[in-house]
Amino acid sequence: MPKVLKSAVPAEQVAAGRDDVAERVRAIIADIRERGDAAVRDYSAKFDSWSPESFRVSPEQVEEILARVPAQVLADIRFVQDQVRTFAQHQRDSLKEFEVETLPGVHLGQKHVPVAAAGAYVPGGRYPLTASAHMTIVTAKVAGVPRVAACTPPIRGEVPDATVAAMHLAGADEIYLLGGVQAVAALAAGTETIGRVDLIAGPGNAYVAEAKRQLFGEVGIDLFAGPTEVLIVADHTADPFVVAVDLLSQAEHGPDSPAVLITTSAGLAREVLDHVEALLPGMPTRDFAEPAWRDHGEIHVVDSVDEAFALADTYASEHVQVLTEQPRQALEKMRDYGALFLGPGTCVSYGDKVIGTNHVLPTRGAARYTGGLWVGKYLKTVTYQEVTSSESSVRLGEVCGRAARVELFEGHARSGDVRAAEFRRGELSWNPA
């Protein structure tokens, strides 16, 4: 049985306050549906102190912004986008279209059709998540989406230059300095100046996540997301200092970000706890990392690596970092995770910022049933059928008639009867003529 060295606060306590968020989001969405741009402007002014003549960034403004961004920052953005684009292109190339002849003259096919318009939400607030522009926009463009409308909030009344530059270089067709529920609702429902989209992707705070949840169905979304999560599986070979640093690297996302260690070494567990307590006071992001670790940090000691993998699967964590003697065992042993990071040479921060896999990943146990954002999310896999053989149409029509009548669908049955009768020149007993 696992021994718990550190536990998190009860789940009921974490859930407190979600109902209030949901109600406030519902009211904002309803107001934007009714008043359109006027409501969007009111909420932007209220929440972000931002009410420009136009929320859309013009080509001239983009050029001015690019000129303000340091050359090294632009070079790094291009490098990272190349990594994301390369991986997304490999994903796209793995998706095959086909056509097969399943019976003589019966042709069935599959196609991958990109959505016509996608919305990309790039968070701002305390952290301007420039990397989210790469993940949402580049991936959509590799999928072939013709129109990508991207939104990011101003930060304390200022334009987030690096984020806008990343959105432009990623290939966004429209860029809006607009954030929060008002941005998501405008993209989903459309306003006088913002055209509606078919799918919205990108992370955000609790209000953005709730807005996506409420609008799902009216618009597609990438996935339901909550606070960032990290889980580390470690054995005696892991460096406890590195483990501590990597746990805190994700805890700084927010005060509600879970950070979990599962280890086979009680000694390592105690050393990690000591390192975390030593590192926290000097962290510039201590105001987020400290409550995250205090309330949502966990350390479990188990008897074997297999037991560690099994326990890790019960969390279905967004990020799982494997620091064991044979880290690739996780590929065979584990099932439920958003992304795996194998061995000491990589880390979750690489996935977040630079390595090329997508950082928009499932949280709150959603990894039990979905992976993260990928090029296929922007594609609709559709099918088509054609029957060019009269003999096959007769056979299918006869079977369709019988199968439909078992289900009491007489209309369906008659569609089959008509084809069977036409090609074999038979009678239709139900036809009054």
**Which positions are annotated as active-site residues?**
318-319
For the chain, percent helix, then strand, then coil, each to nearest 5?
50, 20, 35
Give the DSSP letter string of 6-74.
Answer: E-PPPHHHHHTTHHHHHHHHHHHHHHHHHHTHHHHHHHHHHHHS---S-SBPPHHHHHHHHHHS-HHHH
- Using alpha carbons, list the distances in angstroms from residue 403 to 389, 397, 400, 414, 432: 21, 10, 5, 11, 23
Nearest by Cα to 141 from 379, 362, 383: 379
Nearest by Cα to 203 from 17, 40, 76, 373: 373
Do residues 44 and 178 lie in contact, with contact meaning Cβ atoms separated by under 8 Å?
yes
Give the DSSP letter string of 330-389.
Answer: HHHH----SEEEESTT--HHHHHHTSSS------TTGGGT-----GGGGEEEEEEEEE--
Question: What is the gyration radius of the CA atoms in the chain, in angstroms?
Answer: 26
Q: In the numeric block, which tokens belong to residue 87? A: 């991986």
In a 3-state reduction of DSSP, which class is residue 76?
A: helix
Residues 6+ apart with CB under 8 A from 251: 230, 257, 259, 288, 289, 292, 293, 296, 297
Residues 6+ apart with CB under 8 A from 222: 136, 199, 200, 201, 202, 360, 372, 373, 377
Which amino acid does the sequence have at 61?
Q
Q: In the numeric block, which tokens belong to residue 339? A: 């992304």
Q: Are strands 106-114 and 117-121 parallel, antiparallel or unpaired?
A: unpaired
Do residues 323 and 242 lie in contact, with contact meaning Cβ atoms separated by under 8 Å?
yes
Q: In the numeric block, which tokens belong to residue 321? A: 């970092």
